[in-house]
Amino acid sequence: MSFYRNLTNFSSDGQYFAYSSSDGCLKIWETSTNILKQEYTPSSHLSATCSSLSWGPCKQNTHLPKKSKKPKGNGVQSSLADLQLIAMGTLTGDILLYSFTNADLHSFLSNGHTSVVNDVCWYGATNSLFSCSSDQHIIIWDVITGKIKTKWKAGTTAVYSICVMDENNLLSSCSSIQWWNIKEKTVLMTFSGHATEVFRLLPVNNEEEPSKYFLSAAVGDRVISAWQLSTSNNRRPVASFVVSDEPENIDVICRKNMPLLMTVVSKDGSMHLFEHMLNGRMKKPLQPKCTVQIASKTGESLSKPCPVPILASNLNEDSSSCLLLYGSFLRPMFERIDISELSKDLCLIRDISWSSAITIEDGISRVKETVKPSDVKLLAPGHMTDIKPLQSVAKKRKLKENDLLELPMEERLRALDLSKIPENLDEHEPAIKSDSMVHLLLQGLQSKDNNMLNSVLQSGDETVIHNTLKRLPLQSVLLVLKELHERLNKQEPRNHPCLKWLKGLLAVHLPYLMSCKDVDEYLGPVSQLIEARVENFSKMSQLKGCLQILLSQAASCNANNTDPSSEPLAVYQSESSDESENEIHIDESENEMEHSDQCSENEAVLETSSEKSDSSDSESDIGT
């Protein structure tokens, strides 16, 4: 829905037309004279362009209001009508109130929405301004004080349009239409009939009675639906109006006991007029009463007319005429036509000169070929090393001098392979340079190629990381931050170089990140991820310290269990004690020798006895 913007609006009396260009500049024309009356450029027109526009209550006179000395009666309402305010919602969520009377900015409504303002709607009875945004909130502003009266969340999706029916009833739209009770902030009923997002809601106003019907239009839908605001309704549209293409501008007026009159400007540049009495449900969709197109005829009489698009339309209060805006917003043309004189299919031929005073010489617009000097060296995109001119033997034609310097596609693809390091690369020169890393990183982010991104983000050289991030364009900083966050969430062991890239990104581009308003969407998840990773770090550190204390105490207890006080402080040995010890050792050696001799004698006796027993056994065997 970001592609649709309601940037045009007529004043309530149809005397002035306001338009906000794509660069945020507000232009106001007088419809009776086709003269540009005022032009206002906000200070933040490039960073916060206009996203929605609505003209506030105006005085019902034909001239610009003059400054009154003292307002009589309801001074607040008269002062607002005298100021002729125009509300402009911006992409950043702020709202500007421009005074057409003072030709200057009247007030600045901020600190309300956090995303783009999709629609603004005035309600003069309570001096309130209603706004809705993609941040899913609806806000009621006090125009006098510039403060918020009420703010509430309207759902889980963006709110694209709002419509104030009366003091207590409000309509909002997303993919469906919700009927709100303003005081209680509750949904009374939900209307669903469009397949896409509803971008436009319009009340069918009646001066004497409160509005009971409203209109809705959706993106890419050629059908405009009319609904009845009643709790007994079966939530289906009471009527449907079909146009030739998607509607871009809708204006409706309804008087008491009179049929509804509606003009629809479609995307193909034609205006459709509908007339219908809302007194019951229609089974078939209604076709337009008449269709108006505008064409321009050139000077040649035989040439075909050139179609001129109709940009907007506005119905008169008495429903007798319709004001058409056609041409372009650079030089718009206004024309009022009588509705009673319109036929079913009408094409108006108007003499519009599209020629421009700016001329372009033929010599300047010619495309000149670049001249390549002979001493220029071509560098490969991979390692930025010198490449000698190569000649292809397979080519039969003669190569020119410039063709010798062209690098074949096969060699270019080989140069992109980062796994191969050229032989003539210097030892002190890094294999991958930062300028080639920047190109690969940008190409990987644009094409979402994981292999190319891995070849860059898996590099852990801090010098290369710092130089690459230093050469990174500012518009790609948030994309790199988002890619690093996605890789850190995968919890892969090879993603540890991503931490170095994240640290370098914050160090190099910290001033730019601080100036971005939507940086919380990227740094918030990263901060939560880091906090989740280190959540148990303090507890684990305490556990490690306790275990070290227990192990050190256990080791000290097992190492030495004796009492150091029981050991003698000094030991003295005399010579006599040494001689006695030697005699003791000699006696022990003699005893050991005697013992060994006895053992040998016993063994000899045992052997002789065993021989005798064997001889006796053999003799007994012979005797038998």
Tell me which of 532, 558, 581 is where a domain ends.
Answer: 532
Q: Does residue 467 surpass a pLDDT of 60?
A: yes
Angstrom CA distances, 275 to 181, 207, 350, 422, stand at 31, 18, 27, 78
Residue 491, pLDDT > 70, answer: no
Instruction: For residue 283, tell me if it sits in a domain.
Output: no
Asked whether residue 587 carries a pLDDT value surpassing 50, the answer given is: yes
pLDDT (tens digit per residue) in 9-19: 999 889 999 99
Contact 96, 49 (CB under 8 A): no
What average pLDDT does the chain have? 77
* SS3 (DSSP) at 57: coil
State how far Cα 251 lies from the chain centre. 34
Query: Of 500, 517, 532, which one is at a domain's C-terminal end?
Result: 532
Q: Is residue 270 part of a domain?
A: yes
> Does some domain include residue 77?
no
**Chain-centroid distance, C-alpha 8:** 26
Residue 250 region, left (φ>0) first, then alpha (ψ -120 to 50), else beta? beta
Position 353 scores a pLDDT of 65
Measured distance CA(332)–CA(36) in Å, rounded:
10
Domain boundary residue among 254, 276, 298?
276
More confident residue, 316 or 587: 316
Whether 262 shows a pLDDT value over 60: the answer reads: yes
Cα 374 from chain centroid (whole Å):
47
At residue 386, the pLDDT reads: 46
What's the number of domains the chain is made of? 2
> 86-111 burial, b for 16+ CB within 10 Å, e for fewer?
bbbbbbbbbbbbbbbbeeeebbebee
More confident residue, 349 or 493: 349
Structural domain span for residue 479: 434-532
Please count the other Cβ atoms lying within 10 Å of the Cβ belonging to residue 119: 25
Q: Examine residue 24 and state whether it is found in any structural domain, yes or no.
A: yes
pLDDT tens-digit readout, 555-570:
888 765 555 555 666 6
User: 370-379, 380-389, 506-515 — which one is most confidently predicted on average?
Assistant: 506-515
- Asked if residue 150 lies in contact with residue 139, where contact means CB atoms within 8 angstroms, the answer is yes
For range 259-264, the mean pLDDT: 92
What does the pLDDT average to over 146-161?
Answer: 92
Report the side by side order of strands in the sheet with 26-30: 8-10, 16-20, 26-30, 35-40
Residue 82 has pLDDT above 90, yes or no: no
230 has a pLDDT exceeding 60:
yes
Give the confidence band of 73 by pLDDT, cuts at 50, 70, 90: very low
- Is residue 146, in this structure, part of any structural domain at all? yes
- Residue 42: inside a domain: yes
CATH of the domain at 173: 2.130.10.10
609 within domain boundaries? no
Most confident segment among 429-438, 472-481, 559-568: 472-481
d(CA 308, CA 139): 39
End-to-end CA distance of the chain: 128
Q: What Å distances lie between residue 407 and 382, 421, 479, 559, 612, CA to CA?
A: 13, 19, 32, 76, 110
Give the pLDDT band of residue 620 (cuts 50, 70, 90): very low
- Give SS3 for 362: helix
Predicted confidence at residue 164, as pLDDT, reads 92
Rounded to two decimals, what is the model's pTM?
Answer: 0.56
Token pair, residue 226, equals 């009319």
Q: What is the pLDDT of residues 280-329, one digit of tens each?
A: 888 889 999 999 999 987 655 546 788 899 999 999 888 889 999 999 98
Q: Is 131 a member of any domain?
A: yes
Which position has the higher pLDDT, 435 or 529?
A: 529
The secondary structure of 185-250 as a DSSP string is TEEEEEE---SS-EEEEEE---SSS---EEEEEETT--EEEEEE--TTS-SS-SEEEE-SS-EEEE
C-alpha to C-alpha distance for 595 and 612, rounded to whole angstroms: 27
Residue with tokens 């009356």: 37
